């Protein structure tokens, strides 16, 4: 079964304090949900309309686990804490193998 990845690109961060509160909840929720954070921080370079804002890459064993972690109670609580403090584009993509 192929691994899956959360790819989160931040378009804008409006409230760094609330983003930090989100992180305190999201990190443990992601780990408990089977995820491993592979990369987190500003983009080293951006091309083709990309932004150098924050990017997060998280690996999961498979798509089902990635979706369950996102939809789970713990991560949903983190999203409530984040609220409108950031504009993000979040996707789940399946790995090739």
Residue 8's CATH number = 3.30.70.100
55 is in which domain, residue-wise?
Answer: 4-94
pLDDT in tens, 18-37: 999 999 999 999 999 999 99
pLDDT in tens, 36-85: 999 999 999 999 999 999 999 999 999 999 999 999 999 999 999 999 99
Three-state DSSP string of the chain: CCCEEEEEEEEEECCHHHHHHHHHHHHHHHHHCCCEEEEEEECCCCCCCCCCCEEEEEEECCHHHHHHHHHCHHHHHHHHHHCCCEEEEEEEEECCC
If one counts the domains in the chain, the total is 1
Predicted model pTM: 0.92
pLDDT at 71: 98
């Amino acid at each position: 079964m192929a691994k899956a990845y959360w790819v989160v690109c931040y378009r804008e961060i409006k409230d760094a304090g609330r983003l930090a509160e989100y992180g305190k909840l999201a990190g443990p929720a992601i780990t408990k949900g089977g995820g491993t954070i592979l990369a987190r921080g500003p983009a080293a370079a951006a091309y083709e309309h990309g932004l150098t804002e924050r990017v997060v890459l998280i690996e999961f064993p498979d798509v089902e686990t990635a979706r369950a972690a996102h939809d789970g109670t713990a991560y949903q609580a983190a999203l409530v804490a984040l609220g409108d403090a950031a504009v993000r584009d979040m996707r789940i993509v399946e790995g090739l193998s």
